[in-house]
Amino acid sequence: QVQLVESGGGLVQPGGSLRLSCSTSTFTLNYHAIGWFRQAPGNEREGVSCITRGGGTTYYADSVKGRFTISKDKSKNTVYLQMNSLKPEDTAVYYCAAKRTILSAELTCASAEYPYWGQGTQVTVSS
């Protein structure tokens, strides 16, 4: 059974930073594109940032460009989402998801394309 585990969420003041981690012990992330998605109450799930299996290509939603950075540490089988300059509108449950890909440059950030999901971690930005 594929299991993804997110960690690093919490409560932070506006302007603060958090680093989310996504890891698994059930398969190697080297063959998977990884995406970070978020869902706030009453909103649809949206793609925040995604990275190719090779780590060479990334995608960011316009709302987080310049503030969030996605990275993959193959040695730790972990993908990170560094979130800086956080805003109250970033408050949501953040999920990581995995999609096995054939081509190293293949990248999508559409949630429907990702079959494997973690349980989510809550991020709250509030003073």
pLDDT digits (tens, 9 = 90+) for 30-55: 899 999 999 999 999 999 999 999 89
25: helix, strand or coil? coil
Q: How is residue 55 written in tokens?
A: 């780590």
Q: What is the pLDDT of residue 103?
A: 82
CA distance 88 to 115: 29
pLDDT at residue 102 greater than cutoff 80:
yes
Q: Which of 9-13, 50-54, 67-71, 105-109 has the lowest mean pLDDT?
A: 105-109
Identify whether the C-beta of residue 39 lies closer than 8 Å to the C-beta of residue 95.
Answer: yes
